[in-house]
């Protein structure tokens, strides 16, 4: 079990077939922290509005996070655009998980990091919301292809590799959008008198300096399968879980295989905790 001071994860997109819940469960099993930040798009309300999809592994993720709380970890949930319905519960606590609009996190070496999902600074989300919904539909189709592609790779003995990430970063406009987003987030962090920012939203894990500001993106659990972690000395690192799975034997991590046909249900599972219920009620 790896111990960290802080772990940030975002863009799980529970409630969609694209969520790589098995990898995430394995990550949570082998990594612990004093504080967990859930940096938005944890539950995909957009997709759940269209059709109900909640396999057992998605329920297990919620239970695993609640178990972290019961064992003494602080878990803070910052909603994003896909779970924006949770924003009306900001300031409240569900299952001992705090819901907040944004947070200033102070690292072990006293750096101030602004933690936010990032969608509120995405011009497409703010001024062309219809385009965001259209893009989400196209993105879902790509993820279906990605899942089939990786099913074949795994059967052949290869490691998970994101076809969708590759395609995204080969498109010139997508690369330009990501660069603009990163610059905007760094600028907003400076306005808040912070040393850097931690966000999600664009599904691209990154730690880099932008004009003297630290930009950190924890990635996602649909494509890149990454988390941002802080050591007890204040060092920030990106953990890419498939690489750890295939790492040294001393890690004692069992390889995880992607489900090809997850079980579907037509109603919420009874085990879903109180943190999920209010969000799902406003997704119907």
Each residue's pLDDT tens digit, 44-97: 998 888 888 999 999 999 999 999 999 999 999 999 999 999 999 999 998 899
| pLDDT level of residue 243 (50, 70, 90 thresholds) | low
**Cβ-proximal residues to 259 (8 Å cutoff; 6+ apart), any chain:** 21, 22, 55, 57
From CA 11, how far away is CA 187, in angstroms rounded?
A: 22
Compute φ and ψ for 115, nearest 5 degrees: -110, 120
For 18, list phi and psi in degrees, rounded to 5.
Answer: -75, -20
CATH of domain 2-274: 3.60.21.10
Query: Quick one: pLDDT at residue 194?
Result: 98
Report the alpha-carbon distance of residue 160 to residue 170 in Å, rounded. Answer: 19
Catalogue the E-assigned strands of the chain. 2-9, 31-38, 74-77, 93-94, 97-99, 103-106, 112-115, 196-199, 206-210, 213-217, 226-230, 236-240
Give me 139's structure tokens: 């993105």
Partners of residue 207 on adjacent β-strands: 216
Q: How far is CA 147 from each of CA 8, 159, 189, 241, rounded to the nearest angstrom? A: 25, 13, 36, 17
Burial 167-199 (b: 16+ CB within 10 A, else e): ebeeeeeeeebbeebbebbbebbbeeebbbbbb
Query: CA-CA distance, 40 to 86, in Å (whole number)?
Result: 10
Q: Does the pLDDT at position 259 exceed 50?
A: no
Give percent of the chain above pLDDT 90.
55
pLDDT at 249: 31
């Amino acid at each position: 079990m790896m111990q960290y001071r802080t772990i940030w994860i975002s863009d799980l997109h529970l409630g969609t077939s694209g969520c790589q819940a098995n990898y995430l469960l394995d990550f949570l099993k082998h990594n612990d922290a004093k504080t967990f930040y859930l940096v938005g798009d944890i539950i995909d309300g957009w997709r759940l509005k269209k059709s109900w999809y909640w396999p057992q592994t998605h329920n297990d993720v919620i239970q695993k996070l609640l178990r972290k709380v019961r064992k003494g970890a602080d878990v803070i949930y910052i909603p994003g655009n896909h779970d924006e319905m949770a924003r009306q519960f900001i300031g409240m606590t569900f299952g001992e998980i705090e819901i907040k609009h944004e947070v200033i996190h102070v690292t072990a070496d006293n750096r101030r990091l602004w933690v936010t999902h990032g969608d509120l600074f995405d011009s497409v989300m703010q001024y062309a919301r219809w385009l965001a919904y259209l893009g989400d539909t196209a993105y879902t189709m790509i993820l279906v292809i990605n899942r089939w592609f990786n099913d074949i790779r795994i059967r052949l003995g290869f490691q998970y590799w994101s076809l969708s990430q590759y395609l995204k970063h080969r498109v010139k406009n997508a690369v330009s959008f990501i660069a603009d987003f990163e610059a905007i987030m760094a600028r907003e962090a400076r306005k808040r008198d912070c040393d850097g920012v931690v966000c999600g939203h664009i599904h691209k894990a990154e730690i880099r300096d932008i004009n003297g500001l630290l930009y950190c993106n924890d990635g996602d659990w649909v494509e890149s399968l990454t988390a941002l972690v802080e050591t007890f000395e204040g060092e920030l690192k990106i953990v890419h879980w498939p690489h750890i799975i295939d790492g040294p034997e001393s890690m004692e991590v069992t390889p995880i295989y992607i489900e090809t046909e997850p079980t579907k249900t037509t109603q919420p599972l009874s085990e879903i905790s109180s943190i999920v219920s209010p969000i799902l009620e406003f997704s119907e």
